[in-house]
């Protein structure tokens, strides 16, 4: 009898140990709900959102459904959207752009959050000594292109332009980060830099007009407000024959001359693959480092370059655009 009890007790302990050794995230669910919040509509962010959805559909098929919301550039709307995702207890939040990531980061410490179209996570989340892994319930992908190479476009394409204006929205921390870095590279190359900030689309036209009147060329980073309202800058800069180098392809298509850019669709797709691993329990988000775009391409807007009389050297790819 003692041997039987001992055997049963041992078996129970082994079962308990096995149960404790299982990762609760390893059990797949029948369905998943992913809440996607995009700060505002423009070509780059739209492409990233599509990439996320396509990747998740490829990995999970009909098991995944999406709640896709656009904040329209309104921070209060962004907060409302994220809070609704939290109250609905979605399985994962996809934060498309820095302001959305910051809002989600402050809204929940339990629901997994993946960012995309975010330039620098350490800056966005105010993490000192950022090592590449956020930890906790946050990870994602970065759209950061080599800023020294972006700055080098001015020397390569516009060697006679010495006064460069750098324009960004003051509400976007990652835009400020990019501008500060590019400014340093330009000044090291002997350029004179002037920085111009605006608070929202309402004062963007006035700021752009001032910058165009004071500078020989302009730089705009991957700034969501500029991307959405690139036409405002184009309507001021192009008639004045002031060339604009941009942080990404969609903005360049809207009136820039050239860019060193990534594929935002591919970036979104990579984010979607990360999301699938998290949802299926194949990876822990707390251990997932930020992923970066593997390729960067020099691209140019042929129509604008022709209009401004700018000759593009070999090694650049023309952007498909209807710009005239």
Residue 147 has pLDDT above 90, yes or no: yes
Per-residue pLDDT band at 201 (split at 50, 70, 90): confident
Per-residue pLDDT band at 29 (split at 50, 70, 90): confident
Residue 61 has pLDDT above 70, yes or no: yes
Under a CB-based contact definition with an 8 Å cutoff, are residues 300 and 230 in contact? no
Query: What is the predicted pLDDT for the residue at 11?
Result: 45
Cβ neighbours for 113, distance < 8 A, ≥ 6 positions apart: 92, 93, 95, 101, 104, 105, 137, 138, 139, 140, 285
- Confidence (pTM): 0.82
Average pLDDT estimate for 165-175: 94
Task: Give the 3-state secondary structure of residue 95.
Answer: strand
Query: What is the predicted pLDDT for the residue at 14?
Result: 40
Query: Rounded CA gap, 247 and 221, in Å?
Result: 4
Query: What is the predicted pLDDT for the residue at 320?
Result: 79
Query: Rounded CA gap, 165 and 170, in Å?
Result: 15
Mean pLDDT estimate for the chain: 91
User: Which 8-state DSSP code applies to residue 26?
Assistant: G
Query: What is the predicted pLDDT for the residue at 321?
Result: 62
Per-residue pLDDT band at 156 (split at 50, 70, 90): very high
Per-residue pLDDT band at 323 (split at 50, 70, 90): very low
Query: Rounded CA gap, 50 and 37, in Å?
Result: 12
Query: What is the predicted pLDDT for the residue at 65?
Result: 97
Residue 17 has pLDDT above 70, yes or no: no
Residue 86 has pLDDT above 80, yes or no: yes
Per-residue pLDDT band at 322 (split at 50, 70, 90): low
Average pLDDT estimate for 131-153: 96
Query: Rounded CA gap, 93 and 114, in Å?
Result: 6
pLDDT in tens, 295-314: 899 999 999 999 999 999 99
Under a CB-based contact definition with an 8 Å cutoff, are residues 181 and 209 in contact? no
Query: What is the predicted pLDDT for the residue at 3?
Result: 42
Average pLDDT estimate for 50-73: 97
Q: What domains does the chain contain, in order, with CATH numbers?
A: 29-143+264-292 (3.40.50.2300), 147-261+297-318 (3.40.50.2300)
Under a CB-based contact definition with an 8 Å cutoff, are residues 133 and 139 in contact? yes
Residue 189 has pLDDT above 90, yes or no: yes
Average pLDDT estimate for 44-67: 97
Q: Which residue has the higher pLDDT, 10 or 238?
A: 238
Query: Rounded CA gap, 170 and 225, in Å?
Result: 10
Percent of the chain with pLDDT over 90: 85
Residue 116's CB is within 10 A of a number of other CB atoms, namely 31
Per-residue pLDDT band at 53 (split at 50, 70, 90): very high
pLDDT in tens, 233-276: 999 999 999 999 999 999 999 999 999 989 999 999 999 999 99
């Amino acid at each position: 009898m003692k041997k039987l009890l001992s055997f049963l007790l041992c078996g129970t302990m082994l079962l308990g140990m096995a149960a404790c050794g299982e990762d609760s995230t390893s059990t797949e669910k029948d369905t998943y709900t992913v809440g996607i919040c995009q700060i505002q509509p423009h070509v780059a962010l739209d492409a990233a959102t599509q990439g996320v959805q396509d990747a998740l559909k490829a990995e999970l098929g009909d098991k995944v459904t999406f709640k896709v919301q656009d904040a329209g550039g309104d921070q209060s709307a962004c907060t409302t959207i994220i809070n609704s995702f939290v109250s609905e207890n979605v399985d994962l939040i996809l934060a498309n752009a820095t302001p959305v990531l910051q809002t989600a980061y402050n809204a929940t410490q339990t629901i997994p959050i993946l960012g995309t179209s975010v330039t620098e996570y350490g800056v966005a989340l105010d993490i000192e000594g950022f090592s590449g892994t956020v930890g906790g319930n946050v990870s994602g992908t970065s759209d950061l292109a080599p800023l020294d190479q972006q700055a080098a476009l001015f020397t390569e394409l516009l060697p006679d332009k010495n006064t460069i204006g750098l324009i960004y929205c003051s509400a976007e921390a990652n835009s400020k980060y990019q501008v500060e870095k590019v400014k340093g590279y330009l000044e090291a190359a002997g350029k004179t830099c002037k920085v111009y900030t605006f608070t929202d689309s309402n004062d963007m036209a006035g700021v752009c007009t001032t910058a165009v009147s004071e500078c020989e060329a302009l730089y705009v980073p991957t700034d969501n407000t500029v991307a959405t309202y690139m036409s405002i800058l184009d309507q001021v800069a192009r008639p004045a024959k002031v060339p604009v180098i941009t942080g990404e392809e969609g903005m360049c298509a809207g009136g820039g001359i050239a860019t060193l850019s990534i594929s935002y669709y591919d970036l979104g797709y990579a984010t979607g693959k990360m999301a699938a691993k998290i949802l299926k329990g194949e990876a822990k988000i707390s251990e997932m480092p930020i992923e970066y775009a593997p390729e960067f391409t020099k691209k140019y807007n042929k129509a604008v370059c022709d209009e401004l009389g700018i000759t593009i050297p070999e090694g650049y790819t023309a952007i498909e655009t209807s710009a005239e």
